[in-house]
Structure 1
Amino acid sequence: MASIKIMLDKRRPKKNQEFNIIFRITHDRVPHIVPTGLSTHPNDWNEGLSCFKASTRSSTNLNNILSTKLHKIQEAISELEARNEFSISAIRETLIVKEEKPKTDKVYCFNEFSKSLIETLIRSNKTGNSQVYNVAKNRLMSYAGKDTLLFKEIDYQFLEGFKDKLASENIKPNTISNYLRTIRAIFNKAIKAKVVDRSLYPFYDIQIKGEKTQKRSITKEDILKLNKEKVKVGSQEWHAKNYFFLSFALIGASFTDIAYLTKDNIQKDRIVFRRRKTKKLYDIKLTPLAKSILKLYTPDKYLLPIFPSNMIEDGIESKNITRQAIKQTNKYLDRIAKRCKIELNITTYVARHSWATISKRMGYSNELIAEALGHEYGNKITNIYLDSFDQHLIDDLNLKVQKGLK
C-alpha cells in the first residue's frame, strides 16, 4: 500500500530562496516525488502539520489547494491499487490542471521539438550547444528505434532502459550523464514553452550520476621532458607541441581560445581575450615561452594556423575544424609523451590541469590559482566583496610555473 506525505523539499533552493513543496509517495518502500506546483520559505512552513503557517499571507487558500490535490492523489491511489495498476505516472496525471495543458492541440514529438531547438541554436551561432543537443537527441531516437517519439512515451521505465542500454555498450558514465542532462534540458524547455504537460516530466526519480574524472595533470618533471623532446620543425608533432605549450604559457587557455587569437589580442606585452565558453576576460602577461612560440608563426588573421582567415566564427565549420584539430593535436601529443615514457594520456586539456597542479605543489593558495584560472573560489556571495589579487601576483606565479621551459 502506498503512503503519502506533504513535505518542503530542502535539497535545492530556488533563486528567491524558497523551496518547492512536494508530495512524497512511498510505494513498496520506494519513494517517489510529485510536485505540488507551490513553493515557500521555510519560515512560512509548519513542518509538524505539513502546511502553511497561519501567519503566511493567503495561508487558508494555499492550504486548501494542497488539501484538494492531496485528496485527488489519495483517491487515485485507492482506485489504482484496487485495480492493481499503481504507477507514479498515473498519479501525476491526476494533478493536471487546465492551465498546464499545451496551448495547442498539436501532439508534440520529442524529435520535432529537439530539432527546432537545435535550429534556433545554430541561428544564434551557438553551434557547440546545438551539437550537444543533436548527439543526445540522436542517441535517444536510436534507442527508441523509430522515427517519431512522443514526449509522453519518455517515462521513467523508458529512461532507465536507455541508461542500461548505454551502459551495456560500455559508454562512460560521464557521457551517459551528459546525454541525460541534455534530454532533461530539452524536456524543461518544452514544459516552459507549454508544448508538454508538466505532469509528464519523467526526471523526478531518475538519478543522473557521473564519475570522478581521472587524473589529467602531469608533474613539472614531465612537462620539462615534453618541452625538451626534439621534434621535426613544421611537422604535425611540432605544431601539437607548440599548441600545448602555448596553452600552458597562457595559464591553461583552452585550445579553442588560442585558436581564435588574433594580432588584435596582443596589447603591448600582454595578451587580452575573452574565453569563448564563459565570456570571462583574461589579461595575461606574455612570458618568454609564449613569445618564443608565437614567433614561430607568421599570422594572417589568426596567430596560429588552425582557422582559415575567411572563416565564419562560432559557426558549424569552425566547430568542425576545432574538433578535428584537437583530435589531431591529441594524437601527436600522445606520440611525443610515449617517447618521453609519460604514462598519462596527454591531451590539450592536460596543460590547464597541469598548470594548476604545479602551482598548488609550489605552495600557492587555492584563491590565487582560482583567480588566475578565471574561477571563483569559496562562497560566491563573499567573493563579490573581496578585492581581486593584484595582476602582478598572477604574472609572477605564471612566470615561476614556467621556469626552465623554453
Structure 2
Amino acid sequence: MATLKLTLDKRRKYQDGRSPVVIRLTSDRKSTCIPTGVKLDSSQWDNQRCKVNRKHPNQKELNLHLQGNLVEFEEKLMLMGSNPMISTGVSELKRLLTVDSKPVKTLLTEFGQDHIEHLQAQERFGNAQSFITAINRLTEFAGGKVLMNEIDYAFILNFERFLTERGISINSIAAYMRAVRALLNKAGKLGIADSNNYPFKHYLIRTERTPSRSESVDTLRKLYELNIEEGSEKFHARNTFFLIFGLIGISFIDLISLKKSDLRNGRIHYKRKKTGKLYSIKLHPMVISILSQYHMPESTHLLPQFRMGNATPDQIRHLSNLGLKRTNRYLKQIGQELGLYATLTTYVARYSWANIAKTLGYSKDLIAESLGHNYGNQVTGIYLDNYGDEKIDGVNEAVLHSILY
C-alpha cells in the first residue's frame, strides 16, 4: 500500500543553507519525492510532527499550504486504490498523482486570517482591521470562499467593478486592493500562490487626492479658546485633540496606551503600535497641563479614564474603537459650533500639525520624520543621519507657539 508523508529533505541544500520540504511517496519499499515549493532551515522543521515549527515567522501559513498539498495527493491516492485497474510502481504513481495537478487549494480567507492574527499579536490593530475589511468585501463579492489561485487579472477587474457599482470610493477600493496584493505577495514568497496568476503585474491601483483635513492656525486658536463646560464630554474631546496635536500627531490607540513609566526626563517615550517605531517627544507645557487634569495616583496610565489598566490585546482594540468613536462624536459637535465646513476629528490634529509646520517653512523631510514617515529616497536614506530629537523638538515648539501665543 502506498503512503504519503511530509518531510524535510536534508540531503539537498540550497546556497542559502535551506532544504526543500517534500512529500515522500512510498510504495513496495521504494520511495520518491514530490516537491511542495517550500524551503526551510533545518531548525524550522519539527521531525516528529512533520510540521513547520514556531521558529518560522510564517508557521501557520506554511503548515496550511503543506497540509493542502498532502490532502490533495491523499485524495487522489485513495481514488487510485479503489480502482483495480491501477497497479503501478512508485515512479508511475508519482506521475499519476502529479499529472495535471491543480494548484493547491489554499483559501485566501484562511491564509488572511493567519496574517490578521499575526498583526493582532503585534498589537497592530489598525493594519489588522484593513485586512479584515478587505477579506470581508472579497468574500461578499465571490459569494463565499475564495481560493488563492482563483485571483487573477480578470478576477481583480470584476472585483473592482463590483465595488464601484456599490458606490465605494476610489481610495477605499485602493485600500482593499493593497490588502489583497500584500496577501498575494506574501503567499508568493512562501511558495503558496501561483505566480503565473499574479494580477498586479498589469493591474494599476488608482488613488485620488482627497480634500485637506487640516485646519488653519486661526481655527485651532478658536478651538483652544472656545468656552466649553469643564468636565463635559466636549471638554474631554477637545483635550484629547490637543494632546494628539501636542504629541506630534500621536495615534489615538498609542495615546490612550501611554503609561506613567513612559514619562522620563520631561519626555514621552513610546513605540507606535502600527509600525513598531520608537518615539521620544519633549513635553510641552500645554501637554503637561492637560495630562495633569487626569492624574490618578493609583493608575499606571496617563489617561486612566480609558480603562486600559490590565486590558488584553482584544480589549485594547475594543476600548480604543469605543473611545475614538466617542471622542470624534463630540469633536464633530464642536466643529459644527465653530462653523467648520469639514468634520472635526482626531485625524485633523495630525494633518493640521503637518500643515502648520509646512507654512512655518520647515522642510517636508523634517516634517515627515517628525511624524514618523520615511522621507526622500529610501535607499539613499539609509545612509543619512536622522534629524535628531532637538530639531524635531524645535519644530513642535514652533507649531504649538503659533497656536497658543
* TM-score with structure 2 setting the length: 0.68
Is the contact made by 1:218 and 1:350 (CA closer than 8 Å) also made in structure 2? yes
Aligned to 1:310: 310
1:245-297: CA deviation from partner (whole Å, max 9, x where unpaired): 01111122221221111111111222222222222222222111101100110
Shift of 1:225: 0.6
Counterpart residue type for residue 178 of structure 1:
A
Alignment of 1:316-335 (within 5 A): 316-335=314-333
DSSP-derived class of the 1:138 partner: helix
Structure 1 residues 198, 387: closer, same or farther in 2, change over 3 A? closer
> Map of 1:154-173 to 2, 5 A cutoff?
154-173=151-170
Q: Is the 8 A contact 2:257 2:308 kept in 1?
A: no
Specify every segment of 5 or more residues in structure 2 that has no aligned partner in the other structure, as ranges.
1-97
Alignment partner of 1:199: what SS?
A: helix
**How far apart are the structure 1 equivalents of 2:130 and 2:137?**
11
Give 5+ residue unaligned stretches, structure 1.
1-99
Pairs within 5 Å for 1:382-401: 382-389=380-387, 391-401=389-399
Helix, strand or coil for the counterpart of 1:345? coil
Match of 1:369 in 2: 367
Residue 378 of structure 1: aligned partner: 376
Distance 1:358 1:129 in 2: 28
Q: Report the Cα offset of residue 193 of structure 1.
A: 3.1
Spell out, residue by residue over 1:171-217, the C-alpha distance to the aligned partner (whole angstroms, 9 max, x if none).
Answer: 11111111111112222233333333222223322221111132011
Letter in 1 for 2:258: L
> 2: distance between equivalents of 1:327 and 1:362?
32
Instruction: Give the aligned partner of residue 301 of structure 1.
Output: 300
Give the counterpart of 2:258 among 240, 261, 273. Answer: 261
Conservation of the 8 A alpha-carbon contact between 1:121 and 1:127: yes
| Equivalent residue number for residue 229 of structure 1 | 226
C-alpha spacing 1:119/1:264, structure 2 compared with 1 (3 Å): closer
Deviation, structure 1 residue 388: 4.0
Alpha-carbon distance, 1:376 to partner: 3.8
Alpha-carbon shift at residue 386 of structure 1 (Å): 4.1
Aligned match of 1:288? 285
1:1-27 C-alpha deviation (Å, 9 max, x unpaired): xxxxxxxxxxxxxxxxxxxxxxxxxxx
**Aligned-partner residue type, residue 215 of structure 1:** S
Q: Which residue of 1 aligns with 2:238?
A: 241
Matched, 1:348 2:330: no
Summarize the Cα distance change of 1:276–1:116 in structure 2 as closer, same or farther, 3 Å threshold.
Answer: closer
Q: Percent of pairs identical after alignment?
A: 39
Contact residue 126 and residue 274 of structure 2 kept, 8 A? no
Could you tell me how far apart the structure 1 residues matched to 2:307 and 2:391 are?
33
Amino acid aligned to 2:143: G
**Structural mapping, 1:5-404, within 5 Å:** 106-123=104-121, 125-146=123-144, 148-299=145-296, 300-304=299-303, 305-312=305-312, 315-389=313-387, 391-403=389-401, 404=403
State the 1:306 CA deviation: 1.9
Kindly provide the amino acid, as one letter, of the partner of residue 199 in structure 1: N
Q: Structure 2: how far apart are the matches of 1:278 and 1:102?
A: 43
Residue 21 (structure 1) aligns with: none
Aligned length: 304
SS in structure 1 of the partner of residue 333 of structure 2 = helix
